[in-house]
Amino acid sequence: MNRTISPWRSAAFAAVATLAAGVALAGECPADKRVPDGRGQAMGPTMPQGVTDVVRAMTDLSREPLALQGRQFRLRQLDIQPGGIVPWHSHDHRPAMIYTVSGEVTEYASSCAVPIVHRAGDVAAERNGTSHWWKNTGATPAVLISVDLFPVDKPQQPHDM
Protein backbone atom coordinates (compact mmCIF):
# COMPACT_ATOMS: atom_id res chain seq x y z
CA MET A 1 0.00 0.00 0.00
CA ASN A 2 1.39 3.37 -1.05
CA ARG A 3 0.69 6.06 1.56
CA THR A 4 1.34 9.70 0.92
CA ILE A 5 1.56 12.15 3.76
CA SER A 6 -0.16 15.46 3.26
CA PRO A 7 1.96 18.64 3.42
CA TRP A 8 -0.13 19.77 6.44
CA ARG A 9 0.61 16.57 8.31
CA SER A 10 4.31 16.90 7.49
CA ALA A 11 4.32 20.51 8.72
CA ALA A 12 2.52 19.54 11.93
CA PHE A 13 5.01 16.73 12.56
CA ALA A 14 7.93 19.11 11.94
CA ALA A 15 6.45 21.67 14.36
CA VAL A 16 5.99 19.06 17.09
CA ALA A 17 9.50 17.71 16.54
CA THR A 18 10.95 21.21 16.73
CA LEU A 19 9.15 21.95 19.99
CA ALA A 20 10.14 18.62 21.44
CA ALA A 21 13.76 19.36 20.62
CA GLY A 22 13.56 22.49 22.79
CA VAL A 23 14.35 24.98 20.08
CA ALA A 24 13.56 28.55 21.11
CA LEU A 25 10.85 30.63 19.54
CA ALA A 26 11.96 33.73 17.65
CA GLY A 27 13.60 36.20 19.99
CA GLU A 28 14.16 33.76 22.87
CA CYS A 29 17.26 32.19 24.34
CA PRO A 30 17.68 28.71 22.84
CA ALA A 31 16.77 26.05 25.42
CA ASP A 32 20.23 24.49 25.29
CA LYS A 33 21.85 27.90 25.94
CA ARG A 34 19.83 28.86 29.05
CA VAL A 35 22.05 29.12 32.11
CA PRO A 36 21.58 30.17 35.75
CA ASP A 37 21.23 33.93 36.18
CA GLY A 38 24.65 35.55 36.24
CA ARG A 39 26.32 32.83 34.15
CA GLY A 40 25.21 34.17 30.77
CA GLN A 41 26.22 37.37 29.07
CA ALA A 42 28.34 39.78 31.09
CA MET A 43 27.03 43.05 32.45
CA GLY A 44 27.20 45.67 29.73
CA PRO A 45 27.12 49.45 29.41
CA THR A 46 25.29 51.33 32.15
CA MET A 47 24.28 54.43 30.20
CA PRO A 48 22.09 54.70 27.10
CA GLN A 49 23.62 55.65 23.79
CA GLY A 50 21.79 56.56 20.59
CA VAL A 51 18.37 55.69 22.00
CA THR A 52 15.27 57.83 22.41
CA ASP A 53 12.80 56.68 25.06
CA VAL A 54 9.35 58.29 24.86
CA VAL A 55 6.54 57.42 27.28
CA ARG A 56 3.41 57.30 25.10
CA ALA A 57 0.86 56.47 27.81
CA MET A 58 0.60 55.68 31.52
CA THR A 59 -2.24 54.43 33.70
CA ASP A 60 -2.21 54.55 37.51
CA LEU A 61 -3.44 51.05 38.32
CA SER A 62 -4.51 52.00 41.86
CA ARG A 63 -7.42 53.91 40.28
CA GLU A 64 -8.57 51.02 38.10
CA PRO A 65 -10.90 48.16 39.14
CA LEU A 66 -7.80 46.00 39.60
CA ALA A 67 -6.68 48.43 42.36
CA LEU A 68 -3.04 47.41 42.06
CA GLN A 69 -1.26 49.78 44.43
CA GLY A 70 2.11 51.27 43.61
CA ARG A 71 2.20 50.40 39.91
CA GLN A 72 1.66 52.21 36.66
CA PHE A 73 0.89 50.46 33.42
CA ARG A 74 3.27 52.16 31.00
CA LEU A 75 3.73 52.07 27.23
CA ARG A 76 6.94 53.44 25.72
CA GLN A 77 8.52 53.72 22.31
CA LEU A 78 12.26 53.22 22.04
CA ASP A 79 14.03 54.31 18.86
CA ILE A 80 17.52 52.83 18.75
CA GLN A 81 19.98 54.15 16.20
CA PRO A 82 22.60 51.86 14.60
CA GLY A 83 25.19 51.23 17.32
CA GLY A 84 22.71 52.48 19.95
CA ILE A 85 22.54 50.87 23.38
CA VAL A 86 19.76 50.22 25.88
CA PRO A 87 21.95 49.89 29.00
CA TRP A 88 22.22 47.08 31.51
CA HIS A 89 19.12 46.85 33.72
CA SER A 90 17.07 44.36 35.72
CA HIS A 91 13.43 43.36 35.63
CA ASP A 92 13.35 41.90 39.13
CA HIS A 93 10.64 44.39 40.15
CA ARG A 94 9.29 45.45 36.77
CA PRO A 95 7.85 42.86 34.38
CA ALA A 96 7.68 44.00 30.77
CA MET A 97 6.98 42.92 27.21
CA ILE A 98 8.99 44.33 24.30
CA TYR A 99 7.66 44.23 20.74
CA THR A 100 10.15 44.83 17.93
CA VAL A 101 8.30 46.98 15.40
CA SER A 102 11.13 47.39 12.91
CA GLY A 103 14.84 46.81 12.57
CA GLU A 104 16.88 44.33 14.53
CA VAL A 105 18.44 44.45 18.01
CA THR A 106 20.64 42.06 19.96
CA GLU A 107 19.98 41.27 23.62
CA TYR A 108 22.75 40.27 26.01
CA ALA A 109 21.00 38.48 28.92
CA SER A 110 22.53 37.30 32.19
CA SER A 111 20.70 33.97 31.85
CA CYS A 112 21.65 33.11 28.26
CA ALA A 113 25.04 31.86 27.08
CA VAL A 114 24.63 33.49 23.66
CA PRO A 115 23.31 36.86 22.43
CA ILE A 116 19.64 36.84 21.39
CA VAL A 117 18.63 38.52 18.13
CA HIS A 118 15.21 40.22 18.01
CA ARG A 119 13.74 41.00 14.59
CA ALA A 120 10.59 42.86 13.52
CA GLY A 121 7.55 41.00 14.86
CA ASP A 122 9.35 39.37 17.81
CA VAL A 123 8.12 39.80 21.39
CA ALA A 124 10.45 39.49 24.37
CA ALA A 125 9.04 38.74 27.82
CA GLU A 126 11.06 40.37 30.58
CA ARG A 127 10.36 39.05 34.07
CA ASN A 128 11.87 38.49 37.48
CA GLY A 129 15.41 37.19 37.05
CA THR A 130 16.00 39.07 33.79
CA SER A 131 19.05 41.32 33.71
CA HIS A 132 20.25 42.41 30.29
CA TRP A 133 21.27 45.08 27.83
CA TRP A 134 20.43 45.57 24.14
CA LYS A 135 22.38 46.91 21.15
CA ASN A 136 21.35 47.78 17.62
CA THR A 137 24.04 45.96 15.65
CA GLY A 138 22.27 46.61 12.35
CA ALA A 139 22.61 49.39 9.78
CA THR A 140 19.10 50.84 10.24
CA PRO A 141 17.25 52.27 13.25
CA ALA A 142 15.22 49.83 15.34
CA VAL A 143 11.85 50.73 16.86
CA LEU A 144 10.59 48.91 19.96
CA ILE A 145 7.35 49.21 21.90
CA SER A 146 7.69 48.44 25.61
CA VAL A 147 4.84 47.86 28.06
CA ASP A 148 5.64 47.39 31.73
CA LEU A 149 4.30 47.59 35.27
CA PHE A 150 6.44 50.44 36.52
CA PRO A 151 6.80 51.02 40.28
CA VAL A 152 5.31 54.41 41.22
CA ASP A 153 7.81 54.95 44.05
CA LYS A 154 10.83 54.56 41.76
CA PRO A 155 11.71 57.70 39.84
CA GLN A 156 12.94 56.87 36.36
CA GLN A 157 16.65 57.45 35.88
CA PRO A 158 18.23 58.06 32.46
CA HIS A 159 19.90 54.62 32.63
CA ASP A 160 16.64 52.80 33.50
CA MET A 161 15.26 51.40 30.31
Three-state DSSP class for residue 23: coil
In this prediction, residue 59 carries a pLDDT of: 94
Percent of the chain with pLDDT over 70: 80
Which residues neighbour 158 within 8 Å (Cβ) at sequence distance 6 or greater? 47, 48
pTM of the complete model = 0.78
90-122 pLDDT tens trace: 988 889 999 999 999 999 999 999 999 999 999
Q: What is the pLDDT of residue 25?
A: 57
| Cα distance between residue 45 and residue 148, in whole Å | 22
